[in-house]
Amino acid sequence: MKFVLSILIFFCVLIASACSISESGNPKIVTDETTPSTPVKVDVESGMFVIDHRSDSMDRGNHEYDSAIVGGLVVDPKDEADGSLSRGDVVYFKTPEFNHDFNPNLKPAEFNLARVVGLPEEKD
């Protein structure tokens, strides 16, 4: 039984390591050249609104999206409506419903922010 378990563990490790190495044999590193390192500051224009976001969900160490540090964040709903999402865009969305049985104390915000990290037509 120990032998079978050892073989199973060996193959799991082998498969996991193969998934993280590119064809050249080097670890694959994903870089993002399109996302600005700091958010762009904009003025609130017609149709836009300001949100108070107090989460570190997108924190890179400088609290760029924490309203307690940087003030309100401007949301432009027209950007989402035209369907032109790009890698690195920050989107404002209604948090999906989920089963609270797993963690009944979890109380997510009604709306949240997330960054687009990939698009359907992208590979690797």
Task: Determine contact, residues 54/66, Cβ cutoff 8 Å.
Answer: yes
Q: From 4, 87, 83, 74, select the one nearest 46 (Cα to Cα).
A: 74
pTM for the whole thing? 0.61
- pLDDT tens for the chain, 124 residues: list them: 555 444 555 544 545 555 544 555 666 666 667 667 777 788 899 999 998 888 877 777 788 888 888 888 888 887 666 777 877 788 888 988 887 788 888 888 888 888 888 888 877 6
Give the span between the Cα atoms of 81 and 84, in whole angstroms.
8
